[in-house]
Amino acid sequence: MKIGIIGLGLIGGSLGLDLRSIGHTVLGVSQKESTCQTAKNIGAVTHATTDLKLVAQTDLIFICTPIHYIFPTLQQLSEYLQPTTIVTDVGSVKTPIVQQCTTLWSNFVGGHPMAGTAEQGINAAQNNLFVNRPYVITPTLDTPPHSVQILADLVSSIGAEVYTQYSPEVHDQAVAWISHLPVMISASLIDACMSEPNTQILEAAQKLASSGFASTSRVGGGNPELGVMMARYNQEAILRSLQQYRQTLDHLTHLIKTENWSSLQETLETTQQARPHFID
């Protein structure tokens, strides 16, 4: 297949490496000439330029830009493409993107590969990044089933675990729970600790923090731009999760305040038993 990739960062570059390794032709586009050169050097693309026209004759295009460039990129692209070209994206929020893009390009299929590393950029690209990782494809009632199938087969061929049964809205509320809410509650943990006015307590907290704090604060200490993007593009679902979270936190606080240890025990038993349903 002749495949275009717009945006040669961690995800775009890694897709290129894997797709080329199974025999596809990969045409890459980046805003930076130096990124195009690196992508060629590491073998992530067959050719790469800074000119979008390069991908005009492809069968399928992955838009791997930051979320806010996805729709503008499709707008520019749509002038060159043939109607048979399938266009997909890799944004972590789907409802607003799928709505906008499907209206413009009927052969648009929303996608979200749930893979990543702490690193970013073409130099972080790696082979087999998607193996056994969820890759969610979110068709609407209007998405051509044939195009969904082609994309599903393609990402399945690079080892991803493909899900096609969730709507953009279900996807967005699910990732609000398991990805975006954790960022906000984890960031608030760091923020709250930093607000400790007693300097000796703050110093002791900083010196003694170990694996429990490290785990719980990990995603709250991540990329700020990414956190803001989650909140902007998935605002409604995040707010819904935050509201519900605040209620469960208030309930747990109430149990501690009223010394209702048996109910606290029950709650913690429930969470202990529930976690393996998320993490296997």
Residue 166 as a binder of a second copy (CB under 8 A): the answer is yes
| Interacting residues with a second copy between 105 and 164 (CB under 8 A) | 114, 133-134, 136, 163
Residue 258 as a binder of a second copy (CB under 8 A): the answer is no
Q: How many residues bind a second copy (CB under 8 A)?
A: 92
Minimum Å gap between C-beta 228 and a second copy is 5
Residue 189 as a binder of a second copy (CB under 8 A): the answer is yes
With beta carbons less than 8 A apart as the criterion, state whether 35 and 45 touch: no
Minimum Å gap between C-beta 280 and a second copy is 9
Minimum Å gap between C-beta 221 and a second copy is 3
Minimum Å gap between C-beta 236 and a second copy is 10
- Per-residue interface string for the shown chain with a second copy, residues 26-65, x marking contact by CB under 8 A: ----------------------------------------
| Interacting residues with a second copy between 191 and 210 (CB under 8 A) | 191-196, 198, 200-201, 204-210
Choices 5-13, 58-66, 148-156, 165-173; region in contact with a second copy by CB under 8 A: 165-173
Residue with tokens 């309930």: 251
- The nearer residue to a second copy, 69 or 245, going by C-beta atoms, is 245
- The nearer residue to a second copy, 36 or 229, going by C-beta atoms, is 229
The DSSP code sequence of the chain is: -EEEEE--SHHHHHHHHHHHHTT-EEEEE-S-HHHHHHHHHTTS-SEEES-GGGGTT-SEEEE-S-HHHHHHHHHHHTTT--TT-EEEE--S--HHHHHHHHHH-TTEE-EEE----S--SGGG--TTTTTTSEEEE---TTS-HHHHHHHHHHHHHTT-EEE----HHHHHHHHIIIIIHHHHHHHHHHHHHHT---HHHHHHHHHH--HHHHHHHTGGGS-HHHHHHHHHHTHHHHHHHHHHHHHHHHHHHHHHHTT-HHHHHHHHHHHHHHHHHH--
Residue 174 as a binder of a second copy (CB under 8 A): the answer is yes
Residue 275 as a binder of a second copy (CB under 8 A): the answer is yes
Residue 217 as a binder of a second copy (CB under 8 A): the answer is yes
